[in-house]
C-alpha cells in the first residue's frame, strides 16, 4: 500500500510533468485499486482494454502482467514483486550498497567484505556481489546475533586493504565497526561503506562510523522543477514526487519524439539511458533500473556531500 503522503506526492509529480512537458496528446488517469493483488490486476486489465499506452503500478503490483504488448512500469524498488516483463523504477538498498562499493573500489580499496546478519541479507545482495566479482574481490560474511563484535571483526579483518560494507542498519553495526578499527589499529584509514537505509536510523552519531560513505539517490536536479512545484502545490517536492515526475517525463519525451507507437519496451530500454530530476538512469535486460548515485560521507552525525554522481553510464 502507498501511504497518503506518498500517494499525494506521486499524483502531484505526475500532474506537474504532464503540465510541463506534454504536447497535449497524453493524459493520465490515477485509479485507486484497494483490495490487494486481484484488485490491481483487474484495474490494469481495464486500462489495457481501454487502450492505454502504458500502465504504472504504485505501492503494489501483481506477479503477472496483463499483456507483453503494453509498457508496464512499477514505481517500486528493484527486487520487489512486479509483473513479468515490467520495469522497476525505484532504486533499492542493495543498489545504494553497490554504488558505495564501486566508489570504495575506485578509491583504492583492494576488495570489499560485505557484512550481513544471517538470514537478513538485503534483497538483491547476491546478484549485486555477482555483478561486482567480475571487476574486484567482493566477499560476503554473514554473522549471527549471538556472535560478538570482535569475533565478527576477526573474520572480516583477514584481508588487508579491503573496505567493509554493511548490509542493513542493525544496532550491532557500530560495535563491529569499532572492533574492526581496534583490530586493524587504524582509526581513520578504514573505509566503512553503508547503505541508503542508514538515513533514517539511529546509527549516524556513532563515533566508529565517522567517515563512512553512503551512496544516495541523486536529486541534484531537483531545482529544475522545485519552483514550479512550490507554485503549484505550496511545498517542495518529496522523493516520490520527483520519481513520478520523471516517469511521466520519459513517457512524454518518447511520445513527442516517436508518437504513441514509440512507447515500447525496446525504446525505453535504451542503453544510453535517461537523465531527469532524479539523476541518470536506464533499465537492465532483467527489467531492473540502474541509477547513478551521489556519494555522501558521515561527518559529526550527519551526511555531507563527498562526490557528485558519475557523468554517465
pLDDT tens digit sequence for 231-265? 999 999 999 999 999 999 999 888 888 888 888 88
pLDDT of 35: 64
Mean pLDDT of 186-204: 84
pLDDT > 80? residue 223: yes
pTM of the entire predicted model:
0.88
- Per residue in 117-152, pLDDT (tens digit) is 987 666 678 888 888 888 889 999 999 988 999 999
What are the residue ranges of helices labelled H in 50-122? 93-106
- Among residues 12, 28, 89, the alpha carbon closest in space to that of 58 is found at 89
Single out the residue of 81, 89, 78 nearest to residue 54, CA to CA.
89
What does the alpha-carbon distance between residue 312 and residue 173 come to, in Å, rounded to a whole number? 33
Sequence-distant (6+) residues with CB within 8 A of 117 are 142, 143, 144, 145, 167, 168, 170, 172
Q: Residue 294: what pLDDT?
A: 93
Convert 136-165 to b/e letters by CB count within 10 Å (16 or more is b).
bebebebbeeebebeebbeebbeeeebbbb
d(CA 25, CA 174): 54
pLDDT of 297 reads: 95
Q: C-alpha angle 306/307/311, rounded to 5°?
A: 170
Confidence at residue 122, expressed as pLDDT on a 0 to 100 scale: 65
- Lookup: cell for 194: 553503508
- Look up residue 9 and give its three cell numbers: 506526492
Per-residue confidence (pLDDT) for residue 259, from 0 to 100: 82
Query: Could you tell me the maximum CA-CA distance found in the chain, to the nearest angstrom?
Result: 66
Cell representation of residue 232: 503549484
Q: Which three cell numbers stand for residue 48?
A: 489495457
* Residue 309, pLDDT above cutoff 90: no
Query: What's phi and psi for 148, nearest 5 deg?
Result: -80, 160
Report the side by side order of strands in the sheet with 213-217: 138-143, 111-117, 162-166, 192-193, 213-217, 293-299, 302-307
Choose among 214, 218, 219: nearest CA to 196. Answer: 214
**Residue 261, CA distances (Å) to 53, 107, 252, 254, 287 in order:** 9, 44, 12, 9, 20
Cell numbers 520519481 label which residue?
243
DSSP-assigned beta bridge partners for residue 113 = 139, 164
Average pLDDT, integer, range 105-127: 83
Mean pLDDT of 189-216: 91
Three-state secondary structure readout of 217-262: ECCCCCHHHHHHHHHHHCCCCCHHHHHHHHHHHHHHHHHHHHCHHH
Residue 23 pLDDT exceeds 80 = no
Entry field: residues in the chain: 313
Closest C-alpha among 238, 200, 247, 277 to residue 8: 238
Please provide the average confidence, as pLDDT, over all residues in the chain. Answer: 87
Alpha helices (H) along 137-238: 149-156, 173-184, 223-233
Q: What is the pLDDT of residue 25?
A: 75
Amino acid at each position: 500500500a502507498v501511504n497518503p503522503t506518498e500517494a499525494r506526492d506521486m499524483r502531484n509529480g505526475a500532474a506537474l510533468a504532464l503540465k510541463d512537458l506534454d504536447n497535449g496528446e497524453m493524459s493520465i488517469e490515477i485509479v485507486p485499486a484497494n483490495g490487494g493483488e486481484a484488485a490491481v490486476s483487474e484495474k490494469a486489465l481495464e486500462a489495457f482494454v481501454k487502450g492505454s499506452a502504458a500502465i504504472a503500478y504504485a505501492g503494489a503490483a501483481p506477479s503477472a502482467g496483463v499483456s507483453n504488448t503494453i509498457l508496464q512500469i512499477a514505481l517500486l524498488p528493484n527486487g520487489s514483486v512486479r509483473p513479468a516483463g515490467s520495469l522497476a523504477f525505484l532504486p533499492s538498498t542493495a543498489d545504494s550498497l553497490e554504488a558505495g562499493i564501486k566508489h570504495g573500489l575506485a578509491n583504492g580499496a583492494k576488495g570489499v567484505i560485505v557484512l550481513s546478519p544471517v538470514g537478513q541479507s538485503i534483497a538483491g545482495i547476491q546478484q549485486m556481489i555477482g555483478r561486482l566479482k567480475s571487476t574486484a574481490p567482493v566477499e560476503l560474511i554473514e554473522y549471527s546475533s549471538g556472535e560478538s563484535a570482535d569475533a565478527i571483526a576477526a573474520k572480516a579483518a583477514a584481508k588487508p586493504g579491503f573496505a567493509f560494507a554493511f548490509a542493513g542498519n542493525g544496532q550491532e553495526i557500530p560495535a563491529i565497526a569499532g572492533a574492526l578499527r581496534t583490530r586493524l589499529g587504524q582509526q581513520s584509514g578504514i573505509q566503512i561503506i553503508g547503505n541508503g537505509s542508514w538515513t533514517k536510523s539511529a546509527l549516524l552519531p556513532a563515533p566508529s562510523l565517522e567517515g563512512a560513505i553512503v551512496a544516495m539517490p541523486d536529486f541534484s536536479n531537483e531545482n529544475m522543477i522545485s519552483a514550479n512545484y512550490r507554485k503549484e502545490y505550496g511545498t517542495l517536492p518529496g522523493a516520490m514526487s520527483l520519481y513520478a515526475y520523471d516517469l511521466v517525463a520519459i513517457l512524454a519525451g518518447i511520445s513527442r519524439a516517436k508518437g504513441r507507437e514509440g512507447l515500447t519496451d525496446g525504446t525505453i530500454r535504451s542503453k544510453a539511458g535517461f537523465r531527469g530530476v532524479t539523476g541518470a538512469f536506464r533499465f537492465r535486460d532483467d527489467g531492473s533500473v540502474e541509477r547513478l548515485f551521489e556519494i555522501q560521507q558521515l561527518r559529526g552525525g550527519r551526511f555531507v556531500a563527498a562526490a557528485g554522481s558519475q557523468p554517465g553510464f
